[in-house]
Amino acid sequence: MSKDSAPEGKPGGTPEGVLEGIKEKLVRTKELWAEQGRLLTGTAGDPERDRLPPGQRLVTDWPVLDLGIQPAVSEAAARLDIDGLVEAPLSLSWAELMALPQEERRNDIHCVTQWSRYDNDWRGISVTDLLARARPRPEARFVTMESHDGYTTNLPLADLDRPENLLATHWEGQPLTRQHGGPLRLVVPHLYFWKSPKWIRRITLIPDDRPGFWEVRGYHDRGDPWKEERYS
């Protein structure tokens, strides 16, 4: 899922072939989870009543879930494009992003691998404000999102354009670390966290749904934790 963008592309001197082997093995493991319906409880929750979605366990740390390869995105290289079916496409450098109004959010996050973490404090840029600047066209109904490592995922536009969503630059008062998607990641707390891509660089508005990396590998197209939408 990831491809290191540091010089050599081989963290710690690990041979590239070994990294590709790790990537393929871990991706296949996740695909098997989808095929087998791993972690499914067959129950449903109610976000108005239940804080912890079905099948989840509460953690107090923040697990790092990737394939062991994390792109090194400098602030000079960090940027965000919003394009596709918009009246005013945006292409914002890191300096331009930081000049925008910064907002704070507190929310819970839920990972499809069964952990949840309560009361995360974020700072960053309102997604709804950026979309308002880009002015979606009437025929825009979905988005596809791309990260600096080539990872992609998709959302209905209605799930992205919500007031709680943030393009986060800080967590718990500190800049986002590389391992957690810094310098810029999306936070969509009402869906499983694979729908909140790390190292995000592009949001494209489109008329029809276009599944991303995990969605074409057996994972649910939307990912509602309270409905246990882990897999397709």
The domain total for the chain is 1
Distance CA 216, CA 232 (A): 9
> What is d(CA 210, CA 137) in angstroms, rounded to the nearest whole number?
18
The verdict on residue 101 lying in a domain is: yes
Q: What is the pLDDT of residues 78-99, one digit of tens each?
A: 999 999 999 999 999 999 999 9
What does pLDDT average to over the chain? 90
Per 3-state DSSP, the chain is made up of helix, strand and coil in percentages (nearest 5) of 25, 30, 50
Domain range for residue 60?
Answer: 7-227
Position 23 pLDDT exceeds 80: no
Neighbours of 66 (CB within 10 A): 16
How far is residue 131's CA from residue 115's CA, in Å, rounded to a whole number? 30
Q: How confident is the model at residue 150 (pLDDT cuts 50, 70, 90)?
A: confident
Task: Look at 15-19, 103-107, 138-142 and tell me which has the smallest mean pLDDT.
Answer: 15-19
Q: Which two tokens stand for residue 75?
A: 């602030």
HEC sequence for 135-158: CECCCCCEEEEEECCCCEEEEEHH
CATH of the domain at 120: 3.90.420.10
Lowest mean pLDDT among 28-37, 83-92, 185-194: 28-37
Domain contains 2? no
Instruction: Say what the pLDDT of residue 21 is.
Output: 62
Q: What is the pLDDT of residues 195-212, one digit of tens each?
A: 999 999 999 999 999 999
- Is residue 17, in this structure, part of any structural domain at all? yes
Domain contains 232: no
Give, in order, the Cα–Cα distances in Å from 213 to each of 55, 112, 155, 203. Answer: 24, 15, 12, 15
Kindly state whether residue 90 falls inside one of the protein's structural domains: yes
Report pLDDT for 156: 98
Q: What percent of the chain has pLDDT over 70?
A: 89
